[in-house]
Chains A and B, each alone.
Chain A
Amino acid sequence: MGPAQGKGRLTGRGRGWKPAGGPSWRPLTGGDPERKILRRLRFRPSPTLVPGFLDRSRTIAPPGYNRWRVPPAALAIHQSIGQSDSISVFNHPLATLIGGDMPAQGDWKLSTIGWIFSVAIVFLGLSAFTFGRWLEDAGPRKAMFASALCFSTGFLVSALGVATHQIWLLYLGYGVIGGIGLGLGYISPVSTLIKWFPDRPGMATGLAIMGFGGGAMIGSPLAVALMNHYRTPASPGVAQAMVAMGLLYLAFMMFGVLTVRLPAPGWTPPARAAGARVTHAARDMHVNDAVKTPTFWFLWGVLCLNVTAGIGVLGQASPMIQEMFPARIGPEAAAGFVGLLSLANMAGRFVWSSFSDVLGRPRTYMIYFALGAVLYALVPSTGRAGNVVFFVAFYAVIMSMYGGGFATIPAYLRDRFGVMHVGAIHGRLLTAWSLAGVAGPALVNYIREYQIGRGVPRADAYSFTMYLMAALLVVGFSCNWAASRRPFEGKAA
């Protein structure tokens, strides 16, 4: 089956069918952006080395296709790449490769290992920025395939780095190659689901990005189980576990690659669903024009500040609760606290983002920032009062809104800049995550060390950080307010 045959089918579909019942179809107009893409696909010869199966034309769904078959494809990708949030599970084994149970001369420091995650997040943003436009043209299947190859290759190169004790191979493997896979895999399913669920864009993006939150919950126990399986007296089993994870994630992501579909040009959701809610989308704006608008940069600030406030605290959650409640919380309970925050983070992605379809994106973000700032300001007092229940409850709500902020932003972009280039625009916006991924943990760690260095008791060392996070959220509130006051750049469709 060559590319030529795939295009022949596309031509027939591109002209459109009008099936009785089920999804309704509208005739294509001359200026329809999907039609422009189809025209380009039809007349531009495909590179002969690229298999036709991955072409955008081969992902167009047939008439009557059930759109609820697409979210699992998106989830397969996001559940896999979401493993990156649990990369710290390898920290201790990597730091004791030579020494065994305790670090020895020549072992990597934790701060050295911590850069693997930071490099991966930076390359997530860079690849989303660079390849965002390409994936809109190439289609989700090709982008997801590339993501799967990069992500699994990252594991294999990292395993080689562990086996030869070369840290640069981990930076290159998991950080650079895996990070590129993260960026491609993050934005492609999101823009695909937005196209399938124009009536519920918040729920659609929440569904996909919830998978990223859930990925850490799968990746962490999976890594522990694999390391236990491969552990020998001479080796902690890290390299073998990384090889196994690379192959397992490749297979799992291929399920998403094989099952992803795009709606046919002119497809609209079933009438019953479309009548349920009406959400406004702006006229499609090209990514190069969108990034020149103040609205884009206000939303960049919204994402950056929301993530900065959450990501640093999430990384320090375990030592923080132990130091704030030294007599009551041990390492095991602290691990439970981290798990609970992951659960709140994942649930918040779906719940808050779905909620934004009803309340509207600007109001939802106002809740994130206002409620988040109040809760951050109250957290130190729960520590002083020794109230673990309120401490945990406040953090669970904060983390749910941190996740919600990630999940709602693509729908916000769709509202403001239209559906057509939302993947590319989302890719540009994710550079905010890269910056926050470095700034957030650095802020929390360095402020804590500075406070302890000045003689502040460990239990109180986080208070200033919490107030600073509350202040960041107040600035985020202002960015969101400014974005909401901006007129729509495009005419409502």
Chain B
Amino acid sequence: MTTNTLSKVAAIFSIAIIVGWGFYWSVQVRDTMCLLEMATSEEMPECADTL
């Protein structure tokens, strides 16, 4: 593989991983915050529908 091709492939995969990582962990944090809200509030929060 030439250095130019390697650079492009590495850049594409790295960006995909960084974006995917951000999406995955933002969902995990959102779900955790929702579970915390469920545990502390008397009424069922709206976010519970998306869990």
Partners in one complex: no
